[in-house]
Structure 1
Amino acid sequence: MANAFYDFTGELRQLEQDNLYRRRRVVDGPQGFMLNVDGRQLINFCSNDYLGLANHPEVAAAFKSGVDRYGVGSGSSHLICGHSGAHHALEEELAAFTGRERALLFSTGYMANLGVISALLGRSDTVLEDRLNHASLLDGGLLSRARFQRYRHADIEDLQAKLSNAAGKALVVSDGVFSMDGDLAPLPAMVELTERHHTGLLIDDAHGFGVLGKNGGGVVEHFGLTQDDVPILIGTLGKAFGTFGAFAAGSEDLIEMLIQKARSYVFTTALPAAVAEATRASLRLLQTESWRREQLQNLVRRFRQGAQQQGLQLMDSFTAIQPVLIGDSGQTLAASRRLSEHGFWVSAIRPPTVPAGSARLRITFSANHTESQVDALLDALAKVLP
């Protein structure tokens, strides 16, 4: 008799009928504004490589040099024998970049959020999260076993009401730039509120670092805030930095506490030292080549102006993330396929990644895109959207 536990046929069929089935596509070659996808050349408007550093020759050379010096694998966790000079130097440079006392590397952004939140809270505490937070932030809150509450998206009044009834220690958790909408958390108001209620504040600025702020310092720099204002800062390295991994940054005591208690740091292999060397190179480029941010903003403005002239339903975003709201999952999938036929790769984002009825084309820009490519994308959108 077949084991019914392994019968997924019905569920998979239902996902396909609901236009929620996910399929992978195979990319050949390095990341860039042009990608070879399933054997076809497409202009890539769905990558998080916002500054175009993922295949930068200096970053690639630093990675190769790192392999020559450190080999490929790190061999162990940071607390055993996996913490190299490259890791340590990158942590010091990230701390200086973010204006914080210390930084701590994690192997992925997901692991950073799981580890930090669960290390700082317990059963008697409360975690309050924006309703549109990334899945890793939500899972970190659930893993902590604290009382878990979600407040309405970017709604300070709702957050204040929930904070007033919070039990034990309370931690407010939010994305800095929301990954599917592209808008910003109301950070100054959140800082004022958490200081008044003596609660913690954690901001994951995965999509803000490198993109926002005069020096690429992200949403905290954009709002002119400091470590005292935002004591717990999370960043990923696989987006604007163009490499891989993540970090937490904050006070000396915060980082020491995470080294002792963050299970996703203590009990996992360190990312390869060569990746840390590559990230050090991308960090230097991120800070010195400000033209990348300027080019990115120029492209975003050009796109938004053209999209508004066409009457496309944009969202409140001035970042590299420019969603076009469609609503129906089937229509969104069809639009993505038609764009591919015109030579553009734009992802169809559907529930549960976004709320039901808010499926959208998530268009993202890179500093390596050209104005003519943006104009061509606008022409294609005019053809595939009603």
Structure 2
Amino acid sequence: MLKNLNRFQEALCKREQAGTLRTLKQKVEGVDFYSNDYLGLARSKEFQNILLEKINKNPQLLSGSTGSRLISGNSKVVAFTENFIAEKHQFSSALLFPSGYNANLALFSTLPDRHDTIIVDEQIHRSVHDACTMSNARKLKFKHNDIQHLESILERQTGHCYIAIESLYSMEGDLAPICEIAELAKKYEAALIVDEAHAFGVFGNGLVDQYGLQDRVTANVITYGKALGAHGAAILCNDTVKSYLINFASPFIYTTSAQDFQWMSIKTGYDFLEYHKEFSILLQENIKIFRSHGLESPSSETSPVQSIIIPDNQKLKSLQETLSKEGFLTYAIYSPTVKEGTERLRICLHSFNTETEITRLTEAIIDFI
């Protein structure tokens, strides 16, 4: 044990010397340009009061579920919410999970077998990479959003393939060519899995819904800890895939179900957004204001995530500290989280940011650069 502790400490010291040591920090006051609360639901007093009213009417929502979904945790609330979500997204089935990470672990550790190949976009979320290590399938990577490279990999495969993408990437802030990838999946009879953690809410019910690709997608992952201001995730799929996951997915089978309050919050969030479509409109207006200042970014012009590449860890750290002193909360992403030379300041825009705040932020970045 002592030898292991020494090894652990050496690794931590290396990170500290490189300026990339992760530590937990309390939330501080400032202008939010770093959270995933894109539509402001997590801070909405109106939304909070609606949830509080539901709890007051039914305090049992706050109680623990007492077991996994296969034992005592399959309540009427979670079953009703799954049916609602499936209908809302025009899939035959939905299966809820405590988080998007758990949902991806379940999908990629369960569906592919040792004869299959999982082909992932090189910028896919870490949860997918972790899930692939739990699978017996082979994993290959294709260059980010590169259709030609993806096809060159597909045409060399002899077994069944799974293609894993995000519709909106959280590091680059750019959109996947989802329709073209769906065409490739059809051409090569590959299963397509789309993670919409950052697209749901920002683009209605997500880009799979927007482009009507439900019949082209084997599984569509929707998470609720971002634009919905809640927590949890749903895998949208057909009845067979849902039943297979219930029977064989360890992250589902061996996890205690979340309390009903979580599932109720998700259903209430959908209803709330239905009556507050102005939030996504305000968000797009703020994205336009940010983009109008001419900062160079690889991000999509409609994405709430806007990355500014600062290819130097120390310079990036200085920029974030400068912005913090000005009262702006931003998030710096250092290597090795991203490739060396692609370090970036990750700016998240929200429906509640003001034009003055956005202008002051961009001016401060321009002055520093």
Matches within 5 A, 1:193-232: 193-212=184-203, 216-222=204-210, 224-232=211-219
Which residue matches 1:329? 313
- Partners of 1:56 and 1:280 in 2: CA distance: 16
**Which of 299, 308, 313 lines up with 1:316 in the alignment?**
299
Q: Which residue of 2 aligns with 1:298?
A: 285
Which of 334, 356, 359 is 1:372 aligned to?
356
Dislocated runs of 4+, deviation >6 Å: none
- Against the structure 1 CA distance between its residues 47 and 74, is the aligned structure 2 distance closer, same or farther, given a 3 Å change threshold? same
Correspondences of 1:73-112 after superposition (within 5 Å): 73-112=64-103
Q: CA deviation at 1:62?
A: 4.8
Q: From 106, 112, 121, give the equivalent of 1:130.
A: 121
**Are 2:68 and 2:74, in contact at CA under 8 Å, matched by a contact in 1?**
yes
Structure 1 residues 83 and 57, CA gap change in structure 2 (3 angstroms): farther
RMSD of aligned residue pairs (Cα, Å): 1.5
1:347 and 1:316, CA in 2 relative to 1: closer, same or farther beyond 3 A? closer
Name the structure 2 match of 1:281: 268
Instruction: Supply the distance in 1 between the matched residues of 2:157 and 2:133 (Cα, whole angstroms).
Output: 16
Residue in 1 aligned with 2:251?
Answer: 264
Structure 2 alignment gaps of length 5 or more: none
1:47 aligns with 2:19: no
Superposition deviation, residue 380 in structure 1: 2.3
TM-score, normalised by the number of residues in structure 2: 0.95
Distance in 1 between residues matched to 2:100 and 2:79, nearest whole Å: 18
Task: Give the match for residue 30 of structure 1.
Answer: none
Match of 1:358 among 334, 342, 361: 342
CA distance in 1, matches of 2:104, 2:313: 29
The percent of aligned pairs where both chains have the same amino acid is 31
TM-score, with normalisation over the residues of structure 1? Answer: 0.91
- Confirm whether residue 181 of structure 1 aligns to residue 172 of structure 2: yes
| Larger CA deviation: 131-140 vs 350-359 | 350-359
* In 2, Cα distance between equivalents of 1:135 and 1:247: 18
Q: Match for 1:342 among 326, 334, 344?
A: 326
Change (3 A) 1:101 1:58: farther
Code of the residue aligned with 1:15 in structure 2: it is R
Q: 1:174 is paired with a residue of what secondary structure? A: strand
Shift of 1:55: 3.0
Deviation at 1:63, TM superposition (A): 4.0
Partner of residue 242, structure 2: 255
Contact 2:42 2:229 in 1 (8 A): yes
Amino acid corresponding to residue 14 of structure 2 in structure 1: Q
Shift of 1:3: 1.7
**Contact 1:130-1:153 at 8 Å conserved across structures:** yes
Q: More deviation in 166-175 or 151-160?
A: 166-175
| SS at 2:30 equivalent | strand
Contact 2:299 2:307 in 1 (8 A): no
1:60 aligns with 2:43: no
Please give the secondary structure, in 2, of the residue aligned with 1:122: coil
Structure 1 residue 134: Cα displacement: 0.5
Q: Deviations over 1:226-271 (max 9, x none)?
A: 3112231001110011100111001111111111111111110111
3-state SS of the aligned residue for 2:262? helix
Q: Provide the aligned length of Structure 1 versus Structure 2.
A: 364
CA separation of 1:221/1:59 partners in 2, compared to 1, >3 Å: closer, same or farther? same
Structure 1 residue 115, shift from structure 2 partner: 0.3
Describe the superposition over 1:83-106 as per-residue Cα deviations: whole angstroms up to 9, x where unpaired.
222211211121122111111001
Residue 111 of structure 2 aligns with an amino acid whose one-letter code is L
Amino acid in the other structure paired with 1:328: D
Which residue does the alignment assign to 2:24? 24
Q: Distance in 1 between matches of 2:299 and 2:100?
A: 25
Q: 1:331-350: per-residue Cα shift (whole Å, max 9, x none)?
A: 11111111000001101111
Specify whether residues 266 and 62 from structure 1 end up closer, same or farther in structure 2 by C-alpha distance, changes over 3 A only: farther
Q: How much does 1:379 deviate?
A: 2.6
1:231-250 correspondence runs (5 A): 231-250=218-237
Aligned partner (choices 142, 149, 159) of residue 151 of structure 1: 142
Equivalence for 1:15: 15
Deviation at 1:60, TM superposition (A): 2.5
Amino acid at match of 1:69: Q
Name the CA distance, whole Å, in 1 between partners of 2:224 and 2:335: 26
Give CA deviations for 1:56-93 in whole Å, capped at 9, x if unaligned. 23543454434613333221111111122221121112
Moved more, 104-113 or 117-126: 117-126
CA distance in 2, matches of 1:49, 1:70: 24
